[in-house]
Amino acid sequence: MKNALRLVAVLLLACMCVSVLAACGKSNNGTTKGDEPGPSSGVYVPYDPNKSYTYKDAVVQLSSNWNPHTYQTSDESYPVDFITAGLYSFVFNDALHPVEGKDPYSGYAIVPEMAASLPVDVTTEIRAQYPKFNIPESATEGYAYTIDLNPNATWENGEKITADDYVWSMQQLLTPKYLNYRATDYFAGALCIANAENYYYQGTTAYKENSTAGAYSVEDLVKNADGVYCTPDGNKMYIAIGYGLDNWLGGNSLYAYVSHYGEGYFGNLENFATLVAMCDDNGLVPLTDETNALLSSVTTSNPAWGETDADLFNYYIESVEYAPDFSADNIGVFKSGEYQITVVLGKSLTGFNLLYNLSGNWIVYRPYYENSWTYQEGAEGEEGIWTTNYCTSLETTMSYGPYKMTQFQTDKSMRFEKNENWYGYTDGKHVFVDPVDGNTYSMYQTTAIDTQVVAEASTRKLMFLSGQLMGYGLQAEDFDAYRGSEYCYATPGSTIYFFIFNGYKAAIDEREAAADFDTTKYDLQTMTLTSFRKAVAVTYDKDLFASTISPARSGAFGLIGDAYIYDPATGARYRDTDQAKLALCEFYSVDPADFGGDLDKAVDSITGYDPEKAKELYNEAFEEALKAGFITSADGEHADQELVIEYCSSAPSDFITKTLDYLNEKLAEVTNGTAWEGKIKFEESAPYGNNWSNMIKSGMSDTVLGGWNGSLMDPFGLTDLYTNPSYQYDAKWFNATAVVKTMEIEGEEITLNLKQWSDALNGATVKDADGKEYCFGEGIVDVEVRLNILAMIEAEVLSTYNYIPMLLDGGMSLLSKQVFYVVEEYNAVLGRGGITYMRYNYDDVAWAAYVEENGGQIAY
């Protein structure tokens, strides 16, 4: 009996253990299996239509204008994802949308959405049939496409969306009468609708900054009979004197600079007065040999301004005169069937980039749109202006996407509910295969989206913990508590933040020569020494820096962030390539051989921090500075002068204070025992406001944590930011045309300067010293060649130590237990699936009960 009891006890214990273990085994979504219905494997699981799943979102700023023709910021476009649909859309690569060579959910596929099928290239036919679109004679593809439209697409009221809607909407978008903000998106970027620019600017003269338009030098231009230079297209060129130059002078005019700084920075003011006298009403002077020489004498003769004749092109303006009365019929979007449009492009676009650029939409609901315009009279002698209130309220909004707007209160809240007329709920195509259970689910399980303004992060946090919000973006003070939570998700950003280090010797000399600068006590010139800059570069542990001052971010080591994809078709990232890894190893002097040739291990070993090396370099810098006469040393071992590095501040902030505290603390640690002990510090500048970048570019301030980002699909385009003086922070002390590099490409030794390598990489045709032409643009050479060039440029720019990478942007957020993502890994295009793929552990009623059970406070 006793043994029987023991046996029963053992069996019971075993059962309990099994039960406990089973209960501990969480499903992928972080809930127990018992919380979810258990569908059998590989079946289609429809959602219960009788249950409601409300996604509760919070924003700091509520959109007030989601008109596709006029919205300006990403905050404003918030509703667009819900109430509209693009011609094509992105979906994860799952069993229904497989991508060769990619594991499920590691990439994406592009599928027709408002289109019925993929675009058909009709370049040859359209070129022959419609000469008005000016498709180049040599072009056989990439300029014209027919797109079949989804015949099931309707507005939320059930009215069909036809080709007429697309054509009419494009004409409204581009009409010069309305001056729509988004019009330029359809001709100034990659997606360039044929004749859109001519229609939009008809009858006007546009002035384009040469530095961002053609970047013509005088040699590239054609001289007219009257001596005025023109572009090869015949557009007149001018010199901007009283005309503000956004790109080159931060919106100021040369006249403003010369008036302010005078002889201190410019030469030959008499010649400048001559130029001013020649200005037209716009502050422009025609570009001739004579005016160019006058300009050169002003901007290049004073070393303080530090420009050469090679910089003159930045002051040129190209005037483009557009023909008047340009008909809307000439716009490259026209109806070729009741449910078919033809799109003609001014610039070739193919493959992924074409579909990517058609993943948005421009259509508007005609009855609402036509009634939305108000005319405001202009000043006497001026045309008035039209302003629309389309898509600024519930009454002026007509959805055609998966959701429709059902409530809107200015600066308070908006609500979206399922649009029962959306084709996607019934076409059987908007489904996905779950990567874990293999079952097929409908997209858009969310039945409603409630969005409200919650301005304060602390309120958002409390609401989230009370189960009233679906997500909460962690603040600095939350990281310790939540970064280890299984509901915490990291989202990498695209921006790299680096210290831009002042190396502009002429400006530094000028500052030291100022009357109030005591050279016996202070020094700035040492900053320009490479040894000193190298020392600073290895003074800081990048990851520690990030976790101290901005925990959501991580340390950065290269100039190009982790999120950049070099092959959009596969989602392959630049930073994962051998070329990128080797570039980092080269810059940080890490030998992969020390890691058995394992590049990943070699890169993982890089921290950017080497205090011993830093000490050596600081001492080396001391010797060099002493030798150069930058500093003195009474005892021969320590610098007499203090090196105060001005941190360029746009406005005081906690972030800057924390940054400087950290920098100074670590600097003191590393310089301890060196010749610079207690002699170097970072100090915050006076607030420079928007002028901070000019202060850095002109060498009047010494460092700042700045950053660049670009298109995530185009890491190659980033090279322009570091080699083109129009963008460079260090243009005054780093000339990319003076750095010559030789590379072996497809068996040929090619020698070009760094700027040429960058230009050629981005599709321009450049000539080497022998006049031989090269272009390494997309589709022209193998992608491996392009990666080699990109890595070479990255390593070369890093080696200047003008940019010291410090932070990789990113964020962390908590996700409510009510929902879960179908995929953990962040995808650069789809994120973690968003509303489209969002799945629910609890419907609204069950969630309310769960929150109640937990006393209104959910633990994460």
Partner 1 sequence: MKYMFKYATQRILLMLMTLLIISFMCFVLIRMLPPAPLEPGDPHTAVIEARRAAMGYNKPYLVQFGIFLRNIFTKWDWGISDKMYFGREVAAVFAEKLPASMIVNVYSIVLSIPIGIALGIWAALKKNTMTDHLISTLTMVVISVPSFVYAFLIQYFLSHKLGWFPFLMKGGTDFFTWEMFVSMLPPVMALSFGVIAGFTRGTRAELTEVLTSEFMLLARTKGLTKAQATIRHALKNCMVIIIPSIFGEFIGILSGSLIIEKIFGVPGVGSLYITSINGPDYPMFMMLTVFYTAIGLLSGIVVDISYGFIDPRIRMGSRK
Nearer to partner 1, 83 or 192 (CB): 192
- Cβ-proximal residues to 591 (8 Å cutoff; 6+ apart), any chain: 585, 602
| 489/812 Cα distance (integer angstroms) | 5
Answer yes or no whether residue 392 interacts with partner 1 by CB under 8 A.
yes
Residue 204: Cβ within 10 Å count: 11
| 63/409 Cα distance (integer angstroms) | 10
Nearer to partner 1, 380 or 773 (CB): 380
Among 385, 490, 780, 848, binds partner 1 (CB under 8 A): 385
| 790/757 Cα distance (integer angstroms) | 9
Nearer to partner 1, 211 or 685 (CB): 211
| 793/655 Cα distance (integer angstroms) | 31
Among 32, 154, 184, 570, binds partner 1 (CB under 8 A): 184
Letters for 130-169 (x = contact with partner 1 by CB under 8 A, - = none) are: ----------------------------------------
C-beta of 789: minimal distance to partner 1 in Å?
24
Task: Please choose, out of 160-168, 246-254, 524-532, 607-615, the segment that lies near partner 1 by the rule CB under 8 A.
Answer: 246-254
Among 393, 475, 530, 827, binds partner 1 (CB under 8 A): 393
Answer yes or no whether residue 465 interacts with partner 1 by CB under 8 A.
yes
Among 151, 251, 367, 673, binds partner 1 (CB under 8 A): 251
Answer yes or no whether residue 281 interacts with partner 1 by CB under 8 A.
no
Structure tokens at 12: 């019971």
Nearer to partner 1, 362 or 432 (CB): 362
Answer yes or no whether residue 848 interacts with partner 1 by CB under 8 A.
no
Give backbone dihedrals phi and psi of 600, rounded to 5 degrees, phi first: -60, -45
Count of residues of this chain found to bind partner 1 when the rule CB under 8 A is applied: 61
DSSP string covering 23-71: HH---TTSS-GGGS--PPTT-EE---TTS--EEEEEESS--S---TTT-
C-beta of 154: minimal distance to partner 1 in Å?
26
- Cβ-proximal residues to 225 (8 Å cutoff; 6+ apart), any chain: none
Answer yes or no whether residue 854 interacts with partner 1 by CB under 8 A.
no
| 308/88 Cα distance (integer angstroms) | 48
Task: Please choose, out of 456-464, 495-503, 604-612, 664-672, the segment that lies near partner 1 by the rule CB under 8 A.
Answer: 456-464
Structure tokens at 583: 């570039």
The torsion of the CA quartet 539, 543, 548, 551, rounded to 10 degrees, works out to: 160
| Ranges assigned E (strand) in 478-597 | 488-501, 522-523, 554-555, 565-567, 572-573
C-beta of 201: minimal distance to partner 1 in Å?
8
| 855/860 Cα distance (integer angstroms) | 14
Residue 422: Cβ within 10 Å count: 23
Letters for 7-46 (x = contact with partner 1 by CB under 8 A, - = none) are: ----------------------------------------
- Cβ-proximal residues to 306 (8 Å cutoff; 6+ apart), any chain: 504, 506, 507, 732
Letters for 209-228 (x = contact with partner 1 by CB under 8 A, - = none) are: x--x----------------
C-beta of 845: minimal distance to partner 1 in Å?
18
C-beta of 310: minimal distance to partner 1 in Å?
19
Answer yes or no whether residue 463 interacts with partner 1 by CB under 8 A.
yes
Answer yes or no whether residue 379 interacts with partner 1 by CB under 8 A.
yes
Among 140, 371, 426, 458, binds partner 1 (CB under 8 A): 458
Answer yes or no whether residue 263 interacts with partner 1 by CB under 8 A.
no
Answer yes or no whether residue 183 interacts with partner 1 by CB under 8 A.
yes
Which among 842, 809, 836, 810 has a CA at the least distance from the CA of 823?
836
Among 52, 106, 224, 247, binds partner 1 (CB under 8 A): 247
Q: Helix, strand or coil for residue 833?
A: coil
C-beta of 559: minimal distance to partner 1 in Å?
19
DSSP 697: H
Cα–Cα distances (Å) from 520 to 532, 579, 644, in that order, read 20, 47, 13
Locus of tokens 């109806």? 335
Task: Look up residue 650 and give its amino acid.
Answer: S
Task: Please choose, out of 344-352, 448-456, 470-478, 704-712, the segment that lies near partner 1 by the rule CB under 8 A.
Answer: 448-456
Alpha helices in 415-569 (DSSP H): 457-465, 479-482, 505-513, 530-537, 542-549
Answer yes or no whether residue 454 interacts with partner 1 by CB under 8 A.
yes
Answer yes or no whether residue 456 interacts with partner 1 by CB under 8 A.
yes
| 248/197 Cα distance (integer angstroms) | 24
Nearer to partner 1, 453 or 785 (CB): 453
| Ranges assigned E (strand) in 326-367 | 333-337, 340-344
Answer yes or no whether residue 723 interacts with partner 1 by CB under 8 A.
no
CB 151 within 8 A of CB 339: yes
Answer yes or no whether residue 459 interacts with partner 1 by CB under 8 A.
yes
Among 384, 597, 673, 779, binds partner 1 (CB under 8 A): 384
Answer yes or no whether residue 410 interacts with partner 1 by CB under 8 A.
yes
Task: Please choose, out of 403-411, 558-566, 666-674, 758-766, the segment that lies near partner 1 by the rule CB under 8 A.
Answer: 403-411
CB 550 within 8 A of CB 476: yes
Structure tokens at 456: 């304060």
Among 217, 308, 690, 854, binds partner 1 (CB under 8 A): 690
CB 300 within 8 A of CB 309: yes
Task: Please choose, out of 179-187, 357-365, 476-484, 662-670, the segment that lies near partner 1 by the rule CB under 8 A.
Answer: 179-187
- For residue 120, list its beta bridge partners: 146
* Exposure letters 502-519 (e unless 16+ CB within 10 A, then b): bbbbebbebbeeeeeeee
Nearer to partner 1, 52 or 693 (CB): 693
Among 137, 325, 395, 411, binds partner 1 (CB under 8 A): 411
Letters for 336-375 (x = contact with partner 1 by CB under 8 A, - = none) are: ------------------------------------x-x-
| Ranges assigned E (strand) in 585-711 | 642-647, 680-684, 703-708
Among 388, 550, 659, 756, binds partner 1 (CB under 8 A): 388
Structure tokens at 609: 């921090």
First to last CA, the chain: 49
Letters for 59-98 (x = contact with partner 1 by CB under 8 A, - = none) are: -----xx-x--xxx--------------------------
Nearer to partner 1, 144 or 174 (CB): 174
C-beta of 164: minimal distance to partner 1 in Å?
25
DSSP 430: S
Answer yes or no whether residue 406 interacts with partner 1 by CB under 8 A.
no
Answer yes or no whether residue 171 interacts with partner 1 by CB under 8 A.
no
Interface residues toward partner 1, by CB under 8 A = 64-65, 67, 70-72, 179-181, 183-185, 188-189, 206, 209, 212, 246-247, 250-251, 372, 374, 376-380, 382-385, 387-390, 392-393, 407, 409-413, 452-456, 458-459, 462-463, 465-466, 468, 690, 726-727, 856-857
